[in-house]
Structure 1
Amino acid sequence: MNSIILLSLLTVINLFAGFSKNKNLSFILSFIGIAASAILLGILWNGNDVTNILAPNFINHMLSFDNTTIVFGVLLCVNASLIVLLLHSHEEPMDIPAAEFLTLVLTMLVGALCMVSYTNLTMLFLGLEILSISAYILAGAKKRDYRSNEAALKYYLMGAFTTGVFLFGVALIYGATGSFDVTEIAKYAALPNPQSIYYVGIILLMIAFAFKIAAAPFHFWTPDVYTGAPTLVTALMSTLIKTAAIVAFYRLFNTCFAGATNWSMILMIMAAITMFIGNVTAIVQTNVKRMLAYSSIAHSGYLLFALFALGNNSGASLLVYMAGYTFASILAFAGIIVVQHNMHSNDLNAFNGLGKRNPILAVCITIAMLSLAGIPPLAGFFGKFYIFTNALKADYVAISLWAVLMSCVGVYYYLRIVINMFFKSAEPDAKEFILPASYQIVMGICLCLVVLLGVAPGILSGLI
């Protein structure tokens, strides 16, 4: 709870920091605040709540900071801090001041922490809206770019629709159970014959979550929003928002429906369709941001494995997968921003000959693509390995084989970028790329973590 309070106060302070003549003040405050929040979360490990300035009764036990919450909360803090570092030397022009951008990032982090720690659907809704409203604004950060405006409008309209669906589902569940508390909902779910409105409510919640993680058939907003939004915002959407949404989805189903096979079948079908649409459509894309948008859709399909194949290791598998995906995605998008700034294009051909112009940048992007493709010994491989293994243990053989097949399809479009960088010639007047200092730091950190988690995934899997 302390971490949420600290970040909430920091969002207000950061707005006033924008008036300071010291342009680095808001960055310093943001980075220190995020680091302090991660430390405050770590102090709560194994139920140590001595430092909480607010007793659980103050919020009626609507938030729970167990070890699962803490680990994912720290991952979210690391994610946000890397985005803050990238913004410091950001090369893509945006029409909002850095202090306002940072305030919105911190606000998103507050919402994300609420989403991964909720025990009450009311708190889940508040976290979801805090996160979403900030994301709508950031998607339109390039006010003079019609594509950014289009992305913000589409994201807002679909988000508003999803909010309505979510609230309708919550209302039906409350009508059936008489409670917003997930523990009470779980008790009701265990009864022999729940009311039909309860089932309708759960389906509506599934639709809302499917929208947030970009799972088919509720993924259609993703390509346009990811392509039109500033690339740094796209990185934030594909990592922080996806992590918060999938963990919230996981907490709900792990608490309430761990033994419900009927929900597992729905999620399995959704996962199969999502993997197919994401991977197959990505093959024909020539815009790299759009390609990674469909890649993100495909990864949502893999993440659904942690929900329909719930088991003792589901949380650990989800953690390894999301950590590997987060760091590889930030590494990839950082590279895309540099290429976009120098080539003024996100087209696949803009990466031609990058291996000669800037070998270090090309290697970083290559490692990111191989990890996203699930190639060993990188973090992405073990993320998929753990999730698929859990599914096989639960006797989901057919869908596991389908997922492996789709992963093989995914390798093709990731390697297209690698081939262009190393096996195609650049234009004669192409210049050498220079990496800003903050980009070197972020890409170095992400590169090390992707390799480290691939060599020693037990570092994370043993935490939950």
Structure 2
Amino acid sequence: MVILPELVLIAGALALFLVSLGKNQSEQKIKSVAILFGLGTFAATLLAFHEQATLFYGAYAVDQYSQLFKVMIGAGLAIFLLFSQNLKAIDCKVRPEYYMFLLLSVLGLMMLVSSIELMAIFISLELSSFALYLLVPMRDDRTGVRVQMEAGMKYILFGVMGTGFMLYGMSLMFGLTGTTYLQGIFDFLGADNLQPVAVVALVMILTGFLYKLAVFPMHFWVPDIYQGASNETTGFIATIPKFGAVALLIRFLSLPTGHSAFLIDLLAVLALASMFYGNLSALVQKDIKRMLGFSGIAHAGFIVLGLLSLDTEGYSLAIYYIAGYVLMNLACFLVISNVSQHGENLSIEDFNGLYKRQPVLAFVFAVGLFGLAGIPPFVGFMGKFMILTSALRADHLVVVCLAAINTAIAIYYYLSVVKAVYTGDPGERSLVTVHPLIQATGVVLVMAICLMGALPAKFVDFAGAVVQHLP
């Protein structure tokens, strides 16, 4: 029961592997198996939520903190599988493998949020990442996009570079402290042992974590991979892996050390750089996925801003923000995946008059974009407001002012898409036909975005209570 979600994911990956061995593969069968195990994973996270244990010689911690993230990862996976079941840009012949690698990536994320030892973190991170590297080039050439192979190569090369930095930092840290366990490392660093080599090791280890979150300057893979991957694959990369990155950062930063001032300065610089680079780059984008990619870099800056205080309040707000961000991004990619008729990339102009062609998707898209822009009463507004308030209480006035400017910049390009949806001329663009289940999934996402925006205190308080159990 302790590792029930992980076992369900392993079983799902094995089942899809067996399906892939068959000669006459039924598209409906493949889809049904994937959705079944996606929903089963979410159910397993709920059943195992109150379980607690330390496994594998203390390298794997199943606690309330890790279980909260597993529930969010499981929910994200279930929602993703429900709205991306058509996989328009993925050839039917490789769909079993596609879903198998998808589940293996989620398995890596589940393991990542429970890992409290450097080697366990490395193995989990690589399992999650390498499965994603294989999903990007699976895009079908018939969509008219020819850059998926280039995107896949860039993704793996940049990922290996980030991993190399992280591994070198881990080796330095082990040589300095004599342990690979996070608690032992920070016990050593907390005893006024912060040597220059320890600073270098910390920065290099953080590089691997920040790459997953797409924080500046580890952001450079985002626009090309978002554009080259299929719409569904991009939707996954842009959302669920962020949970693992945030969980790892909080666990890493929550351990008491003597280097808080250094970390705060570093995080402040990274947060502002991410926000300005992401928002200013998003302003000039015409491709919707590239725009969301650059905006994701900016949102990563807001998440890092929530961590500046290095306390329970900041960590709980970061959890709240990433949960809301994933919901809003899933809503946007639900629309993108289903408006794209043959899996092709879409420009902002392709959404002209969407409210006339498919009013439900237009409404879901508008809510997702309003939330990402930080407009009330959606979760994006409350997340940004509370993070800025928390940073202000921690005496980061300059950072807060610059972050507020970035919020204003972001409103422009998000609302330009909403303008196209509701005031643009559809021209000869055809009506969009969507399965009722996908429409229902969109409505559920809208309700969740509104509910989290209306009742933020309940989620933040719960997240705060969970974070307090961290060592």
Same fold (TM over 0.5): yes
Q: What does 1:305-344 align with in structure 2 at a 5 Å threshold?
A: 305-341=305-341
Cα 1:372/1:195, change in 2 over 3 Å: same
Partner in structure 2 of residue 439 of structure 1: 438
Report Cα offsets for 1:435-459 as digits up to 9, x if no partner: 1234213212211111111112234
How far off is 1:284 after superposition? 0.8
Q: Secondary structure at the match of 2:362?
A: helix
Q: Assess if the C-alpha contact under 8 Å between 1:258 and 1:310 holds in 2.
A: no
> Identity rate of aligned residues, in percent?
25
Partner in structure 1 of residue 468 of structure 2: none
Partner in structure 2 of residue 212 of structure 1: 212
Partner in structure 2 of residue 52 of structure 1: none
Partner in structure 2 of residue 292 of structure 1: 292
Matched residue type, 2:346: N
**Aligned pair partner of 1:122 in 106, 119, 123:** 119
**Aligned pair partner of 1:56 in 51, 54, 57:** 54
Report Cα offsets for 1:278-301 as digits up to 9, x if no partner: 001101111111110101110111
Cα 1:61/1:26, change in 2 over 3 Å: farther
Partner in structure 2 of residue 33 of structure 1: 37
Report Cα offsets for 1:189-215 as digits up to 9, x if no partner: 112233332221111112222222111
In structure 2, C-alpha distance between the alignment counterparts of 1:343 and 1:349, rounded to whole Å: 16
Select between 312-321 and 162-171 the one with higher mean Cα deviation.
Answer: 312-321
How far off is 1:38 after superposition? 3.6
Select between 334-343 and 388-397 the one with higher mean Cα deviation.
Answer: 334-343
Q: Assess if the C-alpha contact under 8 Å between 1:76 and 1:243 holds in 2.
A: yes
Report Cα offsets for 1:108-148 as digits up to 9, x if no partner: 11110111111111111011000110110111111534311
Q: What does 1:62-461 align with in structure 2 at a 5 Å threshold?
A: 62-94=59-91, 97-142=94-139, 144=141, 145-257=145-257, 260-341=260-341, 345-427=345-427, 429-461=428-460
Q: Secondary structure at the match of 2:375?
A: coil
Cα 1:326/1:257, change in 2 over 3 Å: farther
Report Cα offsets for 1:381-423 as digits up to 9, x if no partner: 1221222222122111211121111011100000010111112
In structure 1, C-alpha distance between the alignment counterparts of 2:160 and 2:34, rounded to whole Å: 29
In structure 2, C-alpha distance between the alignment counterparts of 1:456 and 1:73, rounded to whole Å: 22
Partner in structure 2 of residue 17 of structure 1: 19
Cα 1:279/1:307, change in 2 over 3 Å: same
In structure 2, C-alpha distance between the alignment counterparts of 1:434 and 1:307, rounded to whole Å: 42
Q: Secondary structure at the match of 1:60?
A: coil
In structure 2, C-alpha distance between the alignment counterparts of 1:432 and 1:115, rounded to whole Å: 42
How far off is 1:42 after superposition? 3.5
Q: Assess if the C-alpha contact under 8 Å between 2:308 and 2:314 holds in 1.
A: no
TM-score norm. by structure 2 comes to 0.92
**Aligned pair partner of 1:6 in 5, 8, 17:** 8
Select between 283-292 and 241-250 the one with higher mean Cα deviation.
Answer: 241-250
Select between 152-161 and 311-320 the one with higher mean Cα deviation.
Answer: 311-320
In structure 2, C-alpha distance between the alignment counterparts of 1:177 and 1:42, rounded to whole Å: 37
Cα 1:437/1:148, change in 2 over 3 Å: farther
- The runs of 5 or more residues in structure 1 that have no matched partner are 50-54
Q: Assess if the C-alpha contact under 8 Å between 2:4 and 2:48 holds in 1.
A: no
In structure 2, C-alpha distance between the alignment counterparts of 1:321 and 1:457, rounded to whole Å: 10
Q: Assess if the C-alpha contact under 8 Å between 2:139 and 2:230 holds in 1.
A: yes
In structure 2, C-alpha distance between the alignment counterparts of 1:289 and 1:249, rounded to whole Å: 26
TM-score norm. by structure 1 comes to 0.93
Q: Assess if the C-alpha contact under 8 Å between 1:120 and 1:182 holds in 2.
A: yes
Number of equivalent positions:
456
Q: Assess if the C-alpha contact under 8 Å between 1:172 and 1:197 holds in 2.
A: yes
- The runs of 5 or more residues in structure 2 that have no matched partner are 464-471
Moved over 6 A (4+): none
In structure 1, C-alpha distance between the alignment counterparts of 2:192 and 2:343, rounded to whole Å: 62
Matched residue type, 1:123: A
Cα 1:279/1:23, change in 2 over 3 Å: same
